[in-house]
Chains A and B, each alone.
Chain A
Amino acid sequence: MLTERVQLSTSIDLDHRGRDWYTDKAVTFLVFVGGISAIVLIIGIFVFITKEGLGFIAGSLDVREFFGSLAWRPTSPTKPTYGILGLIAGTASVTGLAMVVSVPFSLGAAIFIGEFATGRLRETLKVLVELLAAIPSVVWGFIGLSLLNPLIIDIFDVPVGLGVLNSGIILGLMAAPIMTTIAEDALKAVPDTYREAAEAMGATKWQVIFRVVLPAGRNGLVAAVLLGVGRGFGETMAVLMATGNSIKIPTSPFDSVTALTATIAAELGDAPVGSDHYRALFTLGILLFVVTFIINLTADLVVRRAGRK
């Protein structure tokens, strides 16, 4: 029981700014600066790349040759040519094979982790997948060089084990963990009431997965695959180490190829700053940037569509 009566206030102080007010403003400002500088940096990088690349595009670029020719001879003393068809073919074949490897792997893993594993096993697997995702790409390249290379030579009886097959497998294994994580998120986002409804109608575990969970998580799964593609597409180090580095359109999985990214990495150091070669490499950079951007944007849009439902 309250015995003492509280005095009614006669005036209230509304313009007092305490420490909390200043802390709040300061933190807001810091966060704002952080966010802005990230955006400024990205724009800066983009401007830098385009400035160098656009010079080439405006000056020496012959579009037909650029996209249509296999001849990437930027250092030829007599007549340098800049055909990137072979590089595109290399990137596409390696990324394609990587997807063939990683999609079944990562979907399978996501289904197992999300729909079958429970408790400790599930948590352990998730941590393991995240650990795999953290393996640096140079380590993957190393595995390609020193483990997969002799293995391919042995098994298929070919002279060289570096090429589409090797780098496709390496890239696939590399992309699988992140794809697994995203795919598992997509499955987890499917409301459990759907599973319960289907089970209550007598659907078996696999019927629930194939007829309900996968269709319902469709968008998230597509996004997972797209991000995997983006990862494979932009990967450099592992590709540099495992493709064998020769410019051609592959006709067999054992052919050695090279990729857009690897070409930039390998040649940029030797190209004189400001030369056509130097700028052509930046044009490749723009191309990579644009394609990766489109892939990520598509993935993002797909995820958003999934979120809205």
Chain B
Amino acid sequence: MVKATPLAIDIHNLSLWYGDFQALFEVDLQVKQGLITALIGPSGCGKSTLLRAVNRINERLGDYVRTTGEIHVLDQDILRNDIELAQLRRHVGMVFQRPNPLPLSVRDNVLFAHRIHRADEKFNRRKEDEIVEHALRRVLLWDEVKDHLGREATGLSLEEQQKLCIARLLPIKPTVILMDEPTSALDPKGTAALEELIWELHGDYTILIVTHNMAQAKRASEETAFMLLGRMVEHGLTEQVFLAPREKETADYIEGRYG
């Protein structure tokens, strides 16, 4: 952790309440640009909550959610009141636990975010075709779907759906991609394919990925952060966290002593 890689996400002293229930306690986390950082911890420790604070999607719940502290994305304080959520989410994409393609064609799914964010740009079918092909190739889905781009995306297999959910982020070139247990709905083969893909994206995107799967964190991340009961316990290089954890709780968790 001595390398001075620029930070993509810098979370400082973040606390979050759902109503009266405090889910996060003074969390600090620094996510380096271009790396894959895994967020691990037992069920209910606040991993999803933390992730959903970074693109402020948790604000869908309204005033019920209260946040204090700071989150910087590329040096911008994103909790400021004058932040344009549409812009924030353009730069911070999200992949959900259950694949959630929109009930549109495969093609329209890939172009959805693109169309929203470049509404002023002239419509150009050739350009769109290129974008679709490029994004689908990048997620290793092109060969499977190239002959039926017009088909409803909700009819694809779960693995394909989840790849599509990643593909649709790429045309708007997000800086950060947040992934909340992106493989938990998939079978082992799909999980392996997704991991391969995530690894493939590494370097071009900063990825913060929540996972329940120790092996996955070990295999597919460069840094690992461990949370427990709403607090950040430990964060370091993945090998270090797994082989020589500094905190006892981390060691206990990794050895399977929590759920």
Contacts and interface: CB of A to CB of B under 8 A. Distances in A.
A60 B112 CA distance: 61
A130 B116 CA distance: 36
Most buried by A among B60, B103, B113, B169: B103
Interface stretch (B85-93, B126-134, B201-209): B85-93
A289 to B, nearest CB: 36
A77 interface: no
B185 interface: no
A216 B93 CA distance: 23
Contacts of B33: none
B104 interface: yes
B62 A118 contact: yes
A198 B57 contact: no
Contacts of B100: 193-194, 196-197
A59 interface: no
Sorting the interface of chain B by its residue count into under 10, 10 to 19, 20 to 34 or 35 or more gives 20 to 34
B169 A201 contact: yes
A44 interface: no
Interface string A172-208: 0000000000000000000001101111111110010
B203 to A, nearest CB: 23
B60 A199 contact: yes
Nearest to A192: B60
Contact of B112 (A193, A201, A204, A216): A201
B112 A198 contact: yes
B98 A193 contact: yes
Interface in A205-239: 207, 211-212, 215-216
Given A197-B96, A201-B168, A207 B116 contact: yes
Nearest to B178: A200
A35 B208 CA distance: 58
Contacts of B117: 202
B103 A309 contact: yes
Contact of A194 (B55, B93, B102): B102
A202 B103 contact: no
Contacts of A194: 100, 102-103
Contacts of A216: 102-103
Given A196-B60, A211-B112, 6 more contacts: A194-B103, A198-B112, A200-B96, A202-B85, A216-B102, A216-B103
14 contacts: A193-B100, A194-B102, A196-B100, A199-B60, A201-B90, A201-B112, A201-B113, A201-B116, A201-B169, A202-B86, A202-B88, A203-B86, A203-B113, A215-B104
**6 closest pairs, A vs B, by CB?**
A202-B89, A201-B113, A202-B86, A197-B100, A200-B94, A202-B90
